[in-house]
Structure 1
Amino acid sequence: MSFKTILAAGTILAGLLANAPVLAQETPVASTSDTMANEPEDRIIITGRARTLYRTQILESGKMPVEPLLSTQTIQVINEQLIEDQGARDAADLYRNISGVSLYSYAGVTARGFRQEENFFDGLRGDPYAGFSVPQLFNVQRMEYLKGPAGMLYGPGAPGGLFNYITKTPSPDQDIETRFVVGTEGRIGGAIEATGALTDRISARGGVFYEDRNLPRRNADTRTQIYDFGLSYQLERGEVILQATQYDQDLGGNRLRGVPTDDLGNFLTDRRWNHNEASDFLDLRSTVLQARFNYQLTPSLHVDAGLRWNDAEETQQYHEPRGLFDSDGDGVVDTSIREFRDQVRSGESWSFGANAIWERRFGQMDNRLLVGTDWYTRDANFTGFSLRGGRTNTPDLPTPLSLFDPQYGITDPSTYNLPDRADYPVTLTRTDRTGAYVLDEVTVGNLILVGGARFDRFEDEDPGTGDSFSDERLTWRAGGVYRVRNDVSVFLNWAESFEPQDIGSQTVLAGGPFDPTEGEIIEGGVRTELFGGRLQSSASVYQIVRTNVLQPDPAGDPGNDGVDDFIAFGEVTSEGFELDVTADITPNWVATASYAYNDTRITADAGTSTLNGAVGDRFSNAPENTFGFWTRYQVPAWNTAFAVGGDYVDVRLSRSGQKVRDYLVFDASLIYELDQWRAMLRVDNLFDETYAASGFIDRTGHFPGAPRSVFVELTRHW
């Protein structure tokens, strides 16, 4: 399907929605209080409404608050109610709700065809989940996903989009919530959160989360603890918020790679197979301190600022699969060579951002002007050593592991021939990012136009080798919205992004320095709030072109300096269509659905296959079709709601060119609410499908989806 075809389809869809019956605007929608008028007072289950149950009315990740119908950007929101109803514990539980997003690996996703790993918190850099840990949702109020290049607003980043996690803050309304969970795989946990006013101006919030459970893979388990505290001070026309959060996560039998597959995507062994020993682990310790300030200086001028500090350390000891072989000569691959890795990743970062929004009306024109700046610096440290075993058992080396009859405990890392940790090689990296931007929004009647520019300066340094690289970049953005009716708008967006190349690739010996990779998007679509807001939708078509992707020089090492060269020549083009719908089917039945078509292909290379294929080939881990839905039906007379969801991801190719088979899985929740109590029965992978959530490389296999699991969660408000 060509981009022109997609664009034509989107134009037709826009026309159909724009000509929907005007009477839809006049359809009355009963308020929550109206629909509850005839119910006994002790029943608190919410009557479904799309705009209050699963939707957020104001989007913040565009840095100028805006209604979804009036946004030139595509921003999808997962709010607290949807997180709660789906029993989501980490970010990976939510990807099905976001069109164009699927799992890549660990905390990484495929977003509109491109790998994306960086996360923002409250609009600032400083992800506390360093390396290979997936963001947890205990202290998250909602997640906003800004789709496409966002360089003009956020600086360096991947072209597929970015996640912005909005954290919970203190409220003057007193509430204490306790939660207890128990489930399969030895799952047990609990949480307590309390918020309320301490004085007329000061409010506080505190929360503690703990959960312990076994993971589906052999030897693997997880124990997560989060301690979250905050204070807010109400000013006359603003607020100061102070937050402190400690994240402790202990993962046994980790880091988890995949399960080996054949070239058709079939697992070669049981999906619970694990290459790690029971003594292997991945431990994360991360501390965040954050201060935020917002103030209405005048009726037309609002300012806000945030400062975030993060100190994180991730320690790992694990056995890495290093290649499959046939151990008994029967022609069947049955064993994996393993490599032991002892690694520590640590980093300390500071992030600052400030914005000023000035509003003014000039005759028939409304104007909003955003001026902002941000700064980010991080010192990272990697220490590690690897020791590879062979095809036979050797006392001081990692032993191979059978795929079909794995014998754990034969190998003992304490007997490995490792050097002293003080002699491990160390890699240091220092990163500095500084940006300033301006964005103007003009509204004349039903037409909204926006345009903005950003200047970035970035510097990367390796203090160990003395290598450094610095550069500057300008990125631009422009867009428009036309409100066809009060409940229908069409929009157009053009934006740019960039990402500096890794400092390890910038050395002159490798052919560097290199310009950053660049991304550019053109996107258009239509949004609706039909039938009095009961049917909300967003449909768009887009094209993203990513250039300056590094590839190895086909000539190898033309300078004969001992280091293979790179060439910044690669180009990848992503074209697609997305549709997101949220609807109140009846007063008690609400549903959401997200569909995405994406065609991401290599469109230029340097005459090599290092972009995981040749020109014209599909990009790795980029599914052509994805579809997710969630629907909730409630029976107020029973104080009960029934919910079910599904997730479909199309066929993909791994980075090694192996097929990753398509899958369709279903989940379900049964929810009971009465007075201050809430009980939920949750079933994930309802029909116990065996599938690969994503692919990686052939020696480590595909990441298996989790088998069926069940848990019960009991919540009480005080």
Structure 2
Amino acid sequence: MRHEGRVGRTGRRAALVAGASVAVLVMGGVGAAGAASAPQVSQAAAVRSFDIPAQSLAGALTLFGDQAGVQIAAESAVVAGRAAPAVSGAMAPEEALRRLLAGSGLLWRFTDATTVVLEKPAAAGGVTVADPVTVEAAPLRQSPTGPVAGFVAERSITATKTDTPIVETPQAIAVVTADQMDKRAVQNVGQALGYAAGVVAQPSGADARYDVPQIRGFSVAEGQYLNGLRIMRGFGAPSVEVYGLERIEALRGPSSVLYGQASPGGLLNMISKRPVDEAFGEITVEAGSEKRFQGGFDLGGPIADDLPLTYRLTGVVRDSGTQMDHIDDDRYFLAPAVTWKSDDQATRVTLLTQVQHDRSGSPLGLPLAGTLYDNPLGKLSRDLYLGEPDFDESARTQWSLGYEAERRVNDQVTLRQNARYMALDWDYQGLYYAGLASDNRTAYRGTSYQNEDLDTVNVDTQGEVTLGTGPLAHTVLGGVDVRYFDAHTKSLFGSAPSIDIYNPVYGQAIAAPTGSATDKTQRMTQVGLYVQDQIRWHDWQLTAGLRHDVATIRTKIKGKGGGKQDDAATTGRVGLSYIFDFGLVPYLSYSTSFDPQTGTAAPQRGGGNFDSSQGRQYEAGMKFQPKGYNSFLAASLFDLTQTNVKSSDPLYSGYSVQTGEITVQGFELEALASLYEGLNLSASYTLQEAEITGGAASEKGNRPANVPSQTASLWVDYTIQPQSAVGKLGLAGIGLGGGVRYVGERYGDNANTIKLESNTVFDAEIGYERETWKVALNLNNLTDEDTIGTCTAFGCYYGDGRTVVGKLTYRW
């Protein structure tokens, strides 16, 4: 038997977890009784807060493992019948362990930074009392950036930039693991977030070009991060391939304290797949609706036995149409990564690269009459295309090169630097819908041409220190975050012949757009300084942080001159949690954000640059992660306000004033579980009351555009296990799953003149998994429900109709 400091679990992705188990041969003659031998990797100086009551040694070691973040390996006979004294206060784990084992006569040693082995002392003459035995240590704790077996992530670095249990984070966060994405056969980031609490995954309808989810009533189009570094965008936007991700994390609420400018609703942080220590491989082949064909591969492991290098190589090739005729979704994606570790494991550098090329057109809006409203001539189908196949074209190439470097100076100080260069080249030419004639069948159209060359640089340098001050244990983080953005954009617009929406005829002569030409260069530099302290006192934890940002934006428009805009803001967060020993953590928090606004006021008002919009939020919640059960429950209440919102100037047409204010108050519930072998569950519910509380008189009191009153979801899947009664009948490996998603009613505009009805869609999955093979069939929007993502001045945009995806996977 073994004594474990933390309950572990196994799963089919266990091969990806480095060092999931360690075999230790217990031998005699380690050192003097009652003292620790010299550890290979000591945690002696890493100060933590301990609160361990007097009890049996076995129970005390369990609490010690939880509170110190280490694993304990020992035979049950070694600890049986022994008692341990109470240990409390801020101290190094080794000091706490010394106190627990005082008088026991037992020895201990660290086999690595997170594993401790207990041993009996040697008898007289150097002969060990116990015969040599093999002891298997518990699985190492889950990595905040590594793979997760099942749906339940335990740790994250997104909310605090430190390795922190999610249950102890005083802010709501939803994590979608790669296993969950695989189970639901998601095709993009928006689909991956379809079951997450507080998130409207595809508020603009189905669009293969990019993802613009909404969190707590606010768009996070500008608040998307890859590996903790912001994905900066101009007119166009980079797109993230979900097959290259280990997880997607939606941090809900203002988050400028660590990330600078951001939407008050929150941000998305997407974690790339990383090199692993164990060799593995995976090949996938997909086929599905709209002539979709996709192949993927994911390889990793040591480069060579005699080199401290590991690698990961992930790739995707896709040839696919979409539900709208003549709009493709083609992609080539390749992501090599390499990790180097020093011999003493104190230094780690990971090189992360990606290259991606997409050819995917822009889905044109369709008239309100025939989609949202009745048209006497009939309903318009989702596949209706109002462009010109020989004219419309969209091509995007993006690539990035970055690294993550970490140096553990000693057991108290860790230095990190994460950096990335990303480039985007986007060419787009196409038609757009410009209105419907009075005959209800003739659609007016226009043409546009867009080209953008974008270069961005992110460098985030951090220092983390753990220390104790009296009874308090501190984890202090300080850093400087530097960003540079350089975009060159060309835009042209023109006219185009109309088209009959009920009998479209393609092939009309389309002149290249030449009017309203804009040739713009924009450069932005932003520097942010931040500090955070996570303070532990017994079961209380206080998280407090402060950040100051300065940003400069320079804009030059060819033939029209340019301008400069300077912004500065100070933001913060404070959160208080109480951590019960059975896994319940209630918390309170307050956080702020800022988001720079471009443009100037009317000349009659001074013509000055706009100030940044400001966000603030009060949040109270409760998280529960019961020990011994692979599950997570959370509930949160929030009151969120954004001020300095631009609204139409009531006196001077064509200009804006910053008198707008939006308030969103809400309640969220979420549950994740992989309770039994083969069973997964995901459930969420969100209620939010959103109101425009300031700005134009015609909009005041209305609901902001595209903010539903309620959303809800439920997904359950089960795979028959070999040891079950049914599995023993030869049905092991068969899996069934299903889910339902609900989005409540909302409005397409701030004037609340376009009302969008609620919709409910169902998803299903059936699969078979045997040893290294897996085959699955997923059906999303099972009943082929017509859903409308949004309606704007450019028309209405349908959500995804029924899609069928078959997938064959081979792993080794």
Structures share a fold, TM > 0.5? Answer: yes
Q: Is the 8 A contact 2:687 2:711 kept in 1?
A: yes
Instruction: For 1:376 and 1:156, locate their aligned partners in 2 and report how far apart those are by CA, in whole Å.
Output: 11
Contact 2:148 2:177 in 1 (8 A): no
Q: Does 1:708 align with 2:802?
A: yes
Contact 2:151 2:681 in 1 (8 A): no
Report the residue type matching 1:126 in the other structure.
Answer: I
> Structure 2: which amino acid aligns with 1:695?
T
The answer to whether structure 1 residue 412 and structure 2 residue 525 are counterparts is no
Asked if residue 639 in structure 1 is aligned to residue 733 in structure 2, the reply is yes
Q: Distance in 1 between matches of 2:783 and 2:534?
A: 49
Task: State the Cα deviation string for residues 392-433 of structure 1 (Å, max 9, x = none).
Answer: xxxxxx111222221122x233xx16449xx94301111111
CA deviation string 1:175-197 (max 9, x = no partner): 12111111221111201222121
Matched residue type, 2:325: R
By how many angstroms is 1:84 displaced? Answer: 1.0
Residue 607 of structure 2 is matched in structure 1 by 511
Amino acid aligned to 1:617 = N
Amino acid at match of 1:603: T
Between the aligned partners of 1:534 and 1:243, the Cα distance in structure 2 is 31
Q: What are the equivalent positions in structure 2 for 1:565-644 lying under 5 Å apart?
A: 565-584=655-674, 586-607=676-697, 609=698, 614-636=699-721, 637=727, 638-644=732-738
- Report 1 or 2 for greater relative contact order, CA contacts < 8 Å, sequence distance ≥ 6: 1
**Partners in 1 of 2:564 and 2:234 — Cα distance?**
26
Quote how far apart the aligned CAs of 1:615 are.
1.5
Structure-1 separation of matches of 2:717 and 2:598: 45
Larger Rg: 2
Q: What is aligned with 1:670?
A: 766
Aligned to 2:650: 554
Amino acid of the structure 2 residue aligned with 1:488: L
2:518 is matched with 425
* Counterpart residue number, 1:356: 463
Task: State whether residues 667 and 686 of structure 2, in contact with CA within 8 Å, keep that contact through their aligned partners in structure 1.
Answer: yes
Distance 2:638 2:628 in 1: 28
What does the per-residue CA deviation read over 1:313-341, in whole Å, with 9 as the maximum and x for residues that have no partner? 111111111111124xxxxx222100011
What amino acid does structure 1 have at the position aligned with 2:254?
A: P
- Residue 326 of structure 2 aligns to a residue whose secondary structure is coil
Corresponding residue number in structure 2 for 1:439:
532
Once the 2 structures are TM-superposed, how far is the Cα of residue 258 of structure 1 from its aligned partner? 2.8
Equivalent residue runs for 1:211-610 within 5 Å: 211-235=318-342, 236=344, 237-251=346-360, 254-262=361-369, 265-266=372-373, 268-279=379-390, 280-327=392-439, 333-388=440-495, 398-409=496-507, 411-413=508-510, 416=511, 418-419=513-514, 424-464=517-557, 465-503=561-599, 511-530=607-626, 532-556=628-652, 564-584=654-674, 586-607=676-697, 609=698
Question: Does the CA-based 8 Å contact 2:156-2:163 persist in structure 1?
Answer: yes
Report what 1:100 is aligned to: 198
Q: Deviations over 1:8-40 (max 9, x none)?
A: xxxxxxxxxxxxxxxxxxxx9995599x9xxxx
2:44 maps to which residue?
Answer: none
Aligned-pair distance for 1:706? 2.0
Structure 1 residues 168-207: aligned runs within 5 Å? 168-199=273-304, 200-207=307-314
Distance in 1, matches of 2:550 and 2:237, equals 28
Distance 1:702 1:79 in 2: 32
TM-score, normalized by length of structure 2? 0.76
What is the DSSP-based 3-state SS (H/G/I as helix, E as strand, rest coil) of the residue aligned with 1:104? coil
Q: Is the 8 A contact 2:244 2:315 kept in 1?
A: no
- Which letter does structure 2 place at the counterpart of 1:136? E
Q: Deviation per CA, 1:196-217, whole angstroms, max 9, x where unpaired?
A: 2123301122222101111111
Change (3 A) 1:290 1:132: closer
Gaps (5+ residues) in structure 1? 1-27, 37-48, 328-332, 389-397, 558-563
In the alignment, the residues of structure 2 paired with residue 504 and residue 225 of structure 1 have an alpha-carbon distance, to the nearest angstrom, of 41
CA distance in 2, matches of 1:82, 1:213: 23
Q: TM-score w.r.t. structure 1 length?
A: 0.85
| 1:704 Cα deviation after fit | 0.7
Using a 3 Å threshold, how does the CA distance of structure 1 residues 456 and 258 change in structure 2: closer, same or farther?
Answer: same
1:142 maps to: 247
TM-superposed deviation, 1:351: 0.6
Q: Which amino acid aligns with 2:217?
A: G
Report the number of matched residues.
Answer: 644
Partner of 1:89: 187
- 1:675–1:299 distance in 2 versus 1, CA, 3 Å: same
Q: Distance in 1 between matches of 2:178 and 2:746?
A: 31
How much identity, in percent, do the aligned residues show? 23
Q: Residue 650 of structure 1 aligns with which residue?
A: 744
Amino acid at match of 2:476: L
Q: 1:660 Cα shift?
A: 1.3
Question: Hey, what does 2:226 align to over in structure 1?
Answer: 121
**Aligned pair in 2 of structure 1 residues 450, 32: CA closer, same or farther (>3 Å)?**
closer
Letter in 2 for 1:112: R
Letter in 2 for 1:647: R
Letter in 2 for 1:429: Q
1-side partners of 2:10 and 2:273: how far apart?
25
- Per-residue CA deviation, residues 236-285 of structure 1 (Å, 9 max, x unaligned), is 3121111221110001xx21133322499347511221222112122110
Tell me the secondary structure at the aligned position of residue 179 of structure 2. Answer: helix
Query: How many Å separate the matches in 1 of 2:329 and 2:600?
Result: 33
Q: Secondary structure at the match of 2:762?
A: strand
Structure 1 partner of 2:131: none
Tell me which residue corresponds to 2:151: 54
Corresponding residue of 2:790: 695
Q: Which sections of structure 2, spanning at least 5 residues, go unmatched?
A: 1-5, 15-141, 722-726
| 1:565-599 deviations in Å (ceiling 9; x for gaps) | 32111000000000001235655432110110011
CA contact (8 A) 2:598 2:610 kept: no
AA aligned opposite 1:624: S
